[in-house]
Every structure is written in structure tokens, then in C-alpha cells.
Amino acid sequence: MTAIGTETNGSIVCPSHATGIVGIKPTVGLVGRSGVIPIAYSMDIAGPMARSVRDAAVALGALTGVDPDDEKTLKSKGKYHTDYTRFLNKNGLQGKKIGFFTAPVGRNFKVDTLMYRAIDILKSKGAEIVKVNDILKPGTGQHAFRVMLYEYKDGLNRYFASLGEDAPVKSLEELIEFNRSDSISLRYHNQRYLEMAQEKGDLSSPEYRKALAMMHKGSREKGVDRIMDKHNLDAIVAPTGSPAWKTDLVNGDSFQLGSSSPAAYAGYPNITLPMGYVDNLPVGISFFGKAWSEPVLLEIAYAYEMAARHRKMPQLLI
């Protein structure tokens, strides 16, 4: 059983982690995005969510290829595969050098315990672990937020324009006004991000072009690539997040930690799978790396899955 999710920053790996399944956020350009309504075109990508690494690998192979309506997929020529199951190797951790991204550690001691147990499993199966703390160049997150606002506006306006003249809403500006006039839409939730996006110009803006360049430099050349080259790493590992939290209309989300941003800003691949449970709530472990490194990430994730055997059948928790 497989589903397809779309991620800007965490929207595949976070729900996969919170429900105890496997999620793959591919390299941007590996999977075509025709039909996807983007939040941020430079980061958005579709990917599989499945019961096991094998199931997710099968689905990923069915999704890849050059999409004539998505120019970013042109970069995947010679880099994509239609069968990722051939990279699944239960001994795939042997000789691997993996960076342990420690920045998320210290925010939830129960997640920390699971993470250190996972590190022991990785070591026991032949992996060398190197601690890394700072991956992103300072300020990269702010640049990424600016990119998101510009691309959010552009993506939504393109979507609304595709609906034709009979569509009740034809632009981001009209969406904002519709929400303001509706008695229910803004009762519990605001639309500040929509309003901030509307204030931005188009994608020819110097501010946008600078933010995009700085986001990529800070997350790639000065970020993931720098760390991995410095330590000669095959992948980076981190806890995916904290146990699933309750969301209510007063306090909203009780989010504690996440590790999706370095791969999200860079447009690089990220795989999450179960690493244990906190009070019967699943917690995931993430492996991410350089562009087009899905084969080695799948090899590592599969070997960890076979060694840890953490997956449980889902059950209703009351």
C-alpha cells in the first residue's frame, strides 16, 4: 500500500514519521510535478509514503522520469532509475560513513534516547558515525522564507489562471478578499502568509533572485555539500521529529523539533522510517544527503530497517 505526498519542508517526512511509515522526499527534479499546486517551486517535490522501504522504493521507480511540463526534471537525465529495489542491501551499512546531525538533540529526551539507540544499531552494522552540528549557513532560513513568499504567490496565481474564466477565484488577491468576506474562514486561522506573499513582486524581482541564490548557496555549497565533503560522508542522519502532537484551535501546533530543513532548502533527498516509539507514538529517523543520492540513502535505510525491525501495525490509540 502506497500513497503519494508532496513536500516543501517536511510534508512527506513529518506525517510519515508521525504515523510510523516510510517516506521519501526525492531530489527536486527526480519526479515531475505536473498537477502539483506548489507552495515553493524551488523546494516542492512529490514522493512515496509506504509501509516499508521496499514498498517506497518500488513506488519511487514508478514516479521518476523526464516530465515535459517540468523543466527541472531535465537535470535527472542519466540520474534517475526505474527500479530502486536493486539498491536494497541488508548489509548496506557496512563501511558507510554517516554524519549525526546533533542540532535537533536536546529538545525531547525520549526522542534523544531512541536516537542514541539508533546510532548504536548503525555502528553495530558497520557504519562509522561522525557528529556534525551546524549544516546550514546562518541566514539560510530567512532567504528560504523570502523564496517561499515569492514562489507561493507565483504558484497560486498560475493555478488560479489555469482554472479558466468561470472560476470563482482567479488570483491570490481575490482569494484573500474571499477569506476576509467569509464568516468562517478566518474565525480560528489567519492568512498572514497569503498577505505577505501578495505584497511581493514577480519572479524577476532582484530580491527574489538574490534570496534564491543565497538559499541554494547556504544549503548546498556552504551547507550539505560542505559538511559531506569535509567528512567524506555517505549520508547524514537525524531524528525526523517529536512524537505526534495534538493540534487545537487555541494553542495550534505543539511542534518541538525537526530535521527536514537542510534537505528541503537544498532540494536534496530525504528518507524517514520508524526508529521506535514513545508511549506508543511512532518516531522516525531521517537519512539525507546530496542531490541524486537516493540509491545510497535507500541502501542505508533498508539496512537499518532490517536491523532495527521497528515497524508495527497501526492501531487506534485512545
For residue range 179-218, what is the model confidence (pLDDT) as tens digits? 999 878 788 888 999 999 999 999 999 999 999 999 999 9
Task: Count how many Cα atoms sit within 13 Å of the Cα of residue 249 in the half-sphere of its side chain.
Answer: 5
How many domains, the chain?
Answer: 1
Q: Which residues touch 317 (CB under 8 Å, ≥6 apart)? A: 280, 281
| pLDDT of residue 239 exceeding 90 | yes
Flag whether 229 is in a domain.
no
Strand, helix or coil at 34?
coil
**The three cell numbers locating residue 211:** 534570496
Sign of CA dihedral 48, 17, 214, 199: positive
Q: Give, in order, the Cα–Cα distances in Å from 202 to each of 41, 149, 265.
A: 13, 10, 20
Flag whether 180 is in a domain.
no
Dmax (CA) for the chain in angstroms is 62
Cβ atoms within 10 A of the Cβ of 201, count?
12
- Indicate the range of 67-71, 150-154, 158-162, 180-184 predicted with least confidence: 180-184
Q: List residues bridging with 44 in a β-sheet.
A: none
Domain CATH number, residue 275? 3.90.1300.10
**The three cell numbers locating residue 24:** 521519501
Mean pLDDT, to the nearest integer, of 128-150? 97
Predicted confidence at residue 238, as pLDDT, reads 98
Tell me the pLDDT tens digit for each residue of 94-119: 999 999 999 999 999 999 999 999 99
| pLDDT of residue 125 exceeding 90 | yes
Flag whether 168 is in a domain.
no
Predicted confidence at residue 187, as pLDDT, reads 83
- Indicate the range of 155-159, 206-210, 313-317 predicted with least confidence: 313-317
Where does the pLDDT of residue 316 fall: very low under 50, low under 70, confident under 90, or very high at 90 and above? confident
Question: Where in the sequence is the domain holding 9, given as residue range(s)?
Answer: 2-133+235-308
What's the CA gap between 284 and 114, in Å, rounded? 9
- Mean pLDDT taken over the chain: 95
| pLDDT of residue 233 exceeding 90 | yes
Flag whether 194 is in a domain.
no
Query: Helices marked H in the chain — which ranges?
Result: 13-19, 53-63, 109-124, 140-162, 172-181, 192-198, 206-216, 225-231, 261-266, 294-308
